[in-house]
Structure 1
Amino acid sequence: MKDVVTVLYLFGFERIGVAVSDIYFIDPNPLAGQEGAERGVRLEVRMLEPGELKGSIYSARPITVDRPIWRVDLLESVSGAPGSFDRTHHHPAVRGWEPGRRVFDEQLSKEPLKWLGERLADLEGVLDQAGVAHDEVSPADVAGLRERTPEILETVGRLLDGVHAGALGVSPEAGAGSATSIRASWL
């Protein structure tokens, strides 16, 4: 097994955060047509919980990155061409810690960063689709996410570039062709 480094970015607002990581994935129970290894970038909108200081006013603050609300997987099959986005999908609703079914959207696969930017700039619409009450987030969350969407998209783009270059979203096993289940990612 080789050393694999996965990267995690977290953008935090008041009650929500956006977590972004590269991912290499082999589903042990794939849907028909979804067999084989996948690589790419996963983004999740998550609830955040600030903790109480554990020492002086200068101490580090504990932060809990809690339950996911919404997930986007900018994936492609490892056997395909980089940039194909042939496995790109989203999970409009997450129940507890389990994502709902994969939802494929032609526009998401065609223009993933544009599609993602439109969704992130419309947190209220994402919450509605996810079945999450608007009072679980604050107006500062909505405004902060909208304001930082370009920065988040830039980060996602850099991670995708790393995946397409073969530096990120790689298998942790040299012989992964025979593996039936792998998940290398923070998310």
Structure 2
Amino acid sequence: MTSGAPSGDPAPRRRGRPSRTQAENGPATRDRILDAAREEFSERGYEKTSVRGIAKAAGVDSALVHHYFGTKEQVFEAAVTIAFAPALEAPAAIEEGPLEGVGERLTRFILGVWESPATRVPLLAIVRSAVNNETAAAVFRRLVAAQLLSRIARRLEVPDAQLRAELAAAQLVGIAMLRYVIKVEPLASADLEQIVARVAPVVQGHLTGP
């Protein structure tokens, strides 16, 4: 009688690698991991979130998280990219009309993203993580600079376009922080149209002013 597993049994997989069955789950598994990651980062922040915790929430093992995304930083960046996707459409607001009205269009778009509960919750998680952790902040800066500000700057036919785009973004991010994160009154309760009316000319000046 020979020792070892019967020939019909599956070969044992090497430690640290996902099983073939898990890997073949493909996009559905990857999406489930991302959903779990967004919830974990939102509830715990970057520091207290772990790959093991994300895996547990997604119902997979940690090796599968590493298989699809790599490090915790890479998981965070993937989750941030999806959550931040609505704001990345902002450059299109510049193309929807003449440059004379770009300040209002951009202001209305960005604040509208924050007004919607569906997009505000993941954005709050991103901002809170970036404020409290340098690694998360670096990911956020890279995403904002490469995919948002540079795209806006390329559409501005003015000198110092990158600086102008960054100043406009700083104006809007600052308002979002005070209104939606810190909730300073009366800004937190002010009517959105009133805010747009006051802020849009300032954003316009940053983008196209002398």
TM-score by length of 1: 0.28
Question: Rg: which structure is higher?
Answer: 2
Higher strand share goes to which structure?
1
Higher helix share goes to which structure?
2
| Greater RCO, 1 or 2 (C-alpha within 8 Å, sep 6+) | 1
TM-score by length of 2: 0.26
